[in-house]
Structure 1
Amino acid sequence: MARERATALLVDFDGVLRRFDPAVAAGVEREYGLSEGVLGEIAMQWEQLQPVLTGRVTHAEWVSSVAGALADSAGGPQRARAAVEQWQRYRGEVDPAVLDFVREVRGRGIRVGLGTNATDLLDADLETLGLTGELDVVVNSSVVGVHKPAREYFQAACEALETAPGRVLFVGDEDRAVSGARVAGLSAHRWSGPGDLRYLRAALAA
């Protein structure tokens, strides 16, 4: 049985609409004498990350927690705090090809949502990156209280888009999130880069 044609788009933020230059973190690590990759390694440990992605702690509290875990490596808590704060001042860059695609899709009357596991800093990030008003809805895990790939997250996203799951196309760069979207009844595409846009345009064609 053929799937329904998607009439709404849900786009992941990090890795799709926003990208990060790894050289920034690497530069901070060199400056503070930290081992290569340790900032991301500590920050992305699930016990550090899960509370901030579900709104149980703030972004500032998460920064403090990461700095605490790095204190010995950085030569003390003050240096660790300075390193993490310097790293976090870089808020990434918008992929212009993806933004153009979002604008094109919205211009055709298709609702577009941002579906992201994020912290309470998300609204400020969107403003900093000039994305305020570029999406119809923003579905932030720290506001919803659950994160991708949970079925409940995608249900909340579809409700925000006012579109049935079978009519929503999710685009994400992580296999677990793509699988979770499909379990929740959405169509889903594993993002590999701007070369995918031709396929996505066809998938959303009237």
Structure 2
Amino acid sequence: MGTSGTGSERPCWVVFDYGEVISKPTSALPRITAELGMDGAALHSVSAAYFAEREAYDRGCDDHEYWSAVAARLGTSVDERLSRELTRLDVAGWSETDPGTLLLLRELTASGTPLALLSNAPGSFAREAERTRWAEHFHQVVFSADLGMAKPDEEIWRVLLERIDASPERCLFFDDREPNVAAARAAGLHARRWQGPEHAREVLRSRGVLPAANDD
């Protein structure tokens, strides 16, 4: 099945990652640094701690557990009130979407292409995301924290395919991280590294999902 990532068969489903695909990179880290009582010089250290603990958060640990682990790496601590505020800032930081990607989602929806979302994300973000306008484009949304697993785990692809009731060769997956792209291909999906909405549109046109430019 590992060769499906380079095949030319027209996919039925298009599956998107969220972070830095639909969204812009988080803008929250300076505010998070300030809320932790640190100055701008600590931004690099806060960023390192934030991302070092992110996998556990994406796999389902709760908000306070995550922020306590981040704070411990920085030699400090957080209470429940601060944890709630940091979570609010974090969700807001990942909520700024890329207009070009939203346009692509609208084009795919108008073409009748079924869309799914597969995102490594904590539960707090997932609940907010489900209420957004962009989420209405998706027939299925799958968040890692709800499953207790995350990309690139082998099992998560089985869950995705069960949710959308599709065979892997009928799916085209976009993600900004190469390990996730490689894992999707190993599971039999067509998969491409995200390089922006214009590149994705070219890929979709080449596979017949969207009409060629001269047919628009």
Query: TM over 0.5, yes or no?
Result: yes
Alpha-carbon shift at residue 152 of structure 1 (Å): 1.2
Whether contact under 8 Å (2:87, 2:124) holds in the other structure is no
- Letter paired with 2:56: P
The yes-or-no answer on 1:32 pairing with 2:35 is no
Alpha-carbon shift at residue 77 of structure 1 (Å): 4.9
Residue 19 (structure 2) aligned to one of 14, 27, 31: 14
Q: More deviation in 81-90 or 102-111?
A: 81-90
Residue 147 (structure 1) aligned to one of 146, 150, 153: 150
- Letter paired with 1:189: R
Alpha-carbon shift at residue 49 of structure 1 (Å): 2.8
Alpha-carbon shift at residue 104 of structure 1 (Å): 1.7
Whether contact under 8 Å (1:182, 1:188) holds in the other structure is yes
Q: More deviation in 100-109 or 4-13?
A: 100-109
TM-superposition CA deviations, 1:39-68 (whole Å, max 9, x none): 2211221xx23332222x213321232123
User: Matched residue pairs, number?
Assistant: 197
Alpha-carbon shift at residue 158 of structure 1 (Å): 1.7
Q: Name the counterpart of 2:194.
A: 191
1:156-195 to 2 correspondence within 5 Å? 156-195=159-198
Taking the aligned partners of 2:88 and 2:205, their CA distance within structure 1 comes to: 42
Whether contact under 8 Å (2:63, 2:87) holds in the other structure is no
Q: Name the counterpart of 2:133.
A: 130
Q: More deviation in 153-162 or 184-193?
A: 153-162
Query: Could you list the runs of 5+ residues in structure 1 that have no partner in the other structure?
Result: none
The yes-or-no answer on 1:60 pairing with 2:72 is no
Assess, with a 3 A threshold, how the Cα gap between structure 1 residues 197 and 89 changes in structure 2: closer, same or farther: closer
Alpha-carbon shift at residue 203 of structure 1 (Å): 4.0
Structure-1-length-normalised TM-score: 0.81
Residue 100 (structure 1) aligned to one of 100, 103, 106: 103
Assess, with a 3 A threshold, how the Cα gap between structure 1 residues 77 and 153 changes in structure 2: closer, same or farther: closer
TM-superposition CA deviations, 1:99-146 (whole Å, max 9, x none): 221122122222111111111113333156533423111111111222
Alpha-carbon shift at residue 28 of structure 1 (Å): 4.7
- Letter paired with 1:32: M
Structure-2-length-normalised TM-score: 0.78
Whether contact under 8 Å (2:91, 2:125) holds in the other structure is no
Query: How large is the Cα RMSD of the aligned pairs?
Result: 2.6
Q: Percent identity?
A: 23
Whether contact under 8 Å (2:120, 2:143) holds in the other structure is yes
Whether contact under 8 Å (2:104, 2:197) holds in the other structure is no
Alpha-carbon shift at residue 94 of structure 1 (Å): 0.9
Q: Name the counterpart of 1:90.
A: 92
Q: Name the counterpart of 2:208.
A: 205
Whether contact under 8 Å (1:116, 1:141) holds in the other structure is yes
- Letter paired with 2:90: Q
The yes-or-no answer on 1:115 pairing with 2:122 is no
Alpha-carbon shift at residue 194 of structure 1 (Å): 2.5
Alpha-carbon shift at residue 167 of structure 1 (Å): 0.7
Taking the aligned partners of 2:8 and 2:198, their CA distance within structure 1 comes to: 23
Whether contact under 8 Å (1:39, 1:84) holds in the other structure is no
